[in-house]
Amino acid sequence: MSEANDWILLGSTVDLMKELETSGFLKEITLLEKRIVISYHEGQFGAVHARCSHMGGPLAKGKLKKGCIECPWHYWQFGHRSGEAMHGAHEPLASSGGRLSTYPLKVEDGLLYIDAKNETERIKPNYNPMHPVAREPKRESGPIRVLGLSTTAMDKDHPRYSTSEDLLKSALQKAETDLGVQTQFLALSELNFRSCEGFYSKSEKACTWPCSITKMDPNDEMVKVYEALVHWADVVLVGSPIRWGSASSLYYKMAERLNAVQNQITVRDRVLIKDKVAAFILTGGQDNIQAVAGQMLMFFGELGFISPPFPFVAHSLGWSAEDMEKNTEKVRTSERLHSQSYELVQRAVELSRKTLGI
């Protein structure tokens, strides 16, 4: 590249078009220490600032769609020549997505020049008030609050008996009457929430708190889990069936979405879950209880939870038994399993009381 006045030669338009064709018509360059995306669409080159107005996503790694550059992180779109944020993707997070700086371009004798000194001024996005779940976690005064979180997959219209859910509900009920705690029951099967879509895999910074999906999708009901875990509960009792030696599919669907909570520790040294207790109720046809409990203990520990001594109650029929009808009856009528589940809540509440000093 050579300089002529403020114009810097980028190359021949023919060569640039050929080059851009191989990279989705977007290319990042650095001039005068400024990162710029050069683009080409329907006969026109564009030059805009290369970092997204939202969180600095690398626009040159995005896609050019109908003359707009779509950020690869959360899909905000900007006119490839105007730098204007297009309506849509920034909502409901921001009422306007602002405007990226743009750089003058000129074509002379088949050569493209850029003036990297005289960019237009960037207009910042106009953000809406924060999502309520983004508020700083602070324990509200009151009795110990116990959340029962059932991860059993279930058809809402045709609910069936679930062994882990039964133990969970009966333990919560007894805890409310005998321990004077507040309880809340949440069944993942009743919530509509999307699977984690891998924002962390694009960049650790693209995985945000609140979760990028929660911010973009007002119908995302994972927010109920975030509210309960991060803001409401002192004790969380997680129930799961064991399926093929693992926790339920809904448990993993939730766990992946909780990356948004854990990632705050990694990226911002911000611990959202403090002084909270987790314990587990696991039931299954076959075995692998210890591996499932071990995975859950590790994961909830990584989120910031602590656990009481003897942190889970479990039941399985064993490898050679397939009489599931009898199993459901066995659990339903088992005083031992129900009292063990209640004792688990007792231990968890006791630890919570000691931890919180109440």
> Could you count the other beta carbons within 10 Å of the beta carbon of residue 267?
15
Of 66-74, 150-158, 180-188, 310-318, which part binds ligand FES (CB under 6 A)?
66-74
Which residue, 336, 299, 184, 196, is CA-closest to 254?
196
Residue 227: DSSP 8-state: I
- Which strands sit side by side in the sheet containing 277-284, from one edge to the other? 182-187, 145-150, 235-242, 277-284, 312-316
Tell me whether residue 53 or residue 183 sits nearer to ligand FES (CB atom).
53
The nearest distance, CB 135 to ligand FES, in angstroms, is 21
Torsional sign, CA 147, 152, 158, 161 = negative
The nearest distance, CB 56 to ligand FES, in angstroms, is 6
**Is there binding between residue 54 and ligand FES (CB under 6 A)?**
yes
Of 55-63, 270-278, 312-320, 349-357, which part binds ligand FES (CB under 6 A)?
55-63
Binder to ligand FES among 10, 47, 71, 348 (CB under 6 A)?
71
**Is there binding between residue 123 and ligand FES (CB under 6 A)?**
no
Size of the site for ligand FES (CB under 6 A): 10
- Angle at Cα 170 formed by Cα 167 and Cα 176, nearest 5°? 135
Of 74-82, 106-114, 229-237, 260-268, which part binds ligand FES (CB under 6 A)?
74-82
Which residue, 346, 293, 343, is CA-closest to 315?
293
Tell me whether residue 74 or residue 315 sits nearer to ligand FES (CB atom).
74
Q: How far is CA 14 from CA 40, 41, 48, 60, 109, in A?
A: 11, 13, 20, 20, 11
95 SS3 class: strand
Binder to ligand FES among 7, 73, 113, 209 (CB under 6 A)?
73
**Is there binding between residue 57 and ligand FES (CB under 6 A)?**
yes
Binding site for ligand FES (CB under 6 A): 52, 54-57, 71, 73-76
